[in-house]
Amino acid sequence: MPSISFLGTGQGVPSEDRFFSSSVLRVAGLHLLVDAGEPCIHLLSDRGTLVSDLDAVLITHGHVDHIGGLPALLQGCMLRKRIKRLPLYMPEEMIAPLKSWIHALYLTEEGLGFPLEWHAWKSGEITFMGAGVSVTPHSNSHLASCYKDLPGADPSLPCSSYALEITSDGFRCIFSGDLADPAELAGLLKDPTSVLVSELSHFPDTELADVLRGTDLKVLCLVHLSDDYSEDRGELKARMEDLLPQLDDVLIPDDGEVLDF
C-alpha cells in the first residue's frame, strides 16, 4: 500500500510549528524523498532505518526551503554509515553548485562512504526507478516568474522548476512543487490521479479548485500553505470539500503525519 510521510509541510517563511518542504513517498517497496527542506535528516532519523533505506532524492526546484537540508542529509547518511548508493534528481543548473557547496562544507563525495549519482531532470522524460515505479518531471514557471523580479537577478540564468508525476501499478501521485499558476497542473490531471499533493501559497484556493473541478482526482493534500490559509486549516478544508464534492477526501496533513492510500 503506498504511503506518504509528510516530514515538513511549511511554506518558505520560517515557522515555529511547520518545517520546510520534505516528504517520503513509499511505493512498491521504494522510499523516495521528495524535496529536502531542513531539517529533513533529523525527521528521517526518527523513522527507523529511513536514512539507510532511501532509494532516491527528488528535488523540484532550488529554493532554499526545498533543498536547504540536503548537505546535512548527506552528512547524516555518512555518519549513520550508509553504504547504499543514493541517486539525486534535480534541475540541471543545480548540480555543479551543489557539488561545490558540498566540498565547501568539508565533505567529499569520495569520503561519504556511499556513491552519489547525479541526474538532471528533463521535462516530460520518464525516469524508471525500478519495481515498476516511474517519475516524470513537468516544468513550470514558478522560478522564472519570481526570480526575474528579484533585485540583482541575472535573467540569463536558467530557472527550472518541476511538478513530479509518480506512477506505479494503478497508483498515480502528483507533487505540485511550487507553481506560478495552478493552471500548470491542468495537463497533468487529464488522467485519473490517486493523490495530488499541492502547494497553496502562491495563488488563491478558488483558482486551484477551478483547475481541479471535473478531474478524476481521488485525494487532495494541501501543503505549503500561505499564512492566510494556515491560520484556519479547518475552514480551508471545509471550503475545498464544498468546492470539490467529487473528491474522496481533502487533507491538510500535519508535519510528521503519515497517510496510506
Q: Over the stretch 114-124, which tens digit does the pLDDT of each residue have?
A: 999 999 999 99
The pLDDT-based confidence of 6 (bands split at 50, 70, 90) is very high
- Establish whether the linkage from the previous residue to 39 is cis, with ω within 30° of 0: yes
Mean pLDDT for all residues in the chain? 95
The domain locations on the chain are 3-260
Residue with C-alpha cell 502547494?
199
Match domain 3-260 to its CATH number in 3.30.1780.10, 3.40.640.10, 3.30.300.30, 3.60.15.10: 3.60.15.10
From 203, 171, 204, select the one nearest 4 (Cα to Cα): 171
Model confidence at 219: pLDDT above 90: yes
The pLDDT-based confidence of 16 (bands split at 50, 70, 90) is confident
Mean pLDDT (whole number) for 236-255: 97
56-83 pLDDT, tens digit each: 999 999 999 999 999 999 999 999 999 9
With beta carbons less than 8 A apart as the criterion, state whether 98 and 72 touch: no
CA distance 141 to 98: 22
With beta carbons less than 8 A apart as the criterion, state whether 113 and 83 touch: yes
Q: In what order do the strands lie in the sheet with 161-168?
A: 127-130, 133-140, 161-168, 171-175, 193-200, 217-225, 249-251
Residue with C-alpha cell 511554506?
11
pLDDT at 11: 94
Helices (H), 80-169: 92-104, 142-147
Q: Which of the pair, 144 or 96, is modelled with greater confidence?
A: 96
From 65, 56, 60, 8, select the one nearest 28 (Cα to Cα): 56
- R_g (Cα) of the chain, nearest Å: 18
18-67 pLDDT, tens digit each: 999 999 999 999 999 999 999 999 999 988 889 999 999 999 999 999 99
CA distance 200 to 252: 11
With beta carbons less than 8 A apart as the criterion, state whether 102 and 110 touch: no
Establish how many alpha carbons lie within 13 A of residue 166's alpha carbon, considering only the half-sphere containing its beta carbon: 30
With beta carbons less than 8 A apart as the criterion, state whether 69 and 22 touch: yes
Please list, in sequence order, all residues whose beta carbon lies within 8 angstroms of the beta carbon of residue 75, skipping any fewer than 6 positions away.
41, 105, 107
Say what the pTM is. 0.96
Residue 229 has which C-alpha cell? 490559509
125-175 pLDDT, tens digit each: 999 999 999 999 999 999 888 887 788 888 888 899 999 999 999 999 999
Mean pLDDT (whole number) for 73-99: 96
| In the chain, beta strands by DSSP E | 3-8, 22-27, 30-34, 56-58, 86-90, 116-120, 127-130, 133-140, 161-168, 171-175, 193-200, 217-225, 249-251, 258-260
CA distance 261 to 259: 7
Residue 196 has which C-alpha cell? 495530488
pLDDT at 7: 97
CA distance 91 to 110: 23
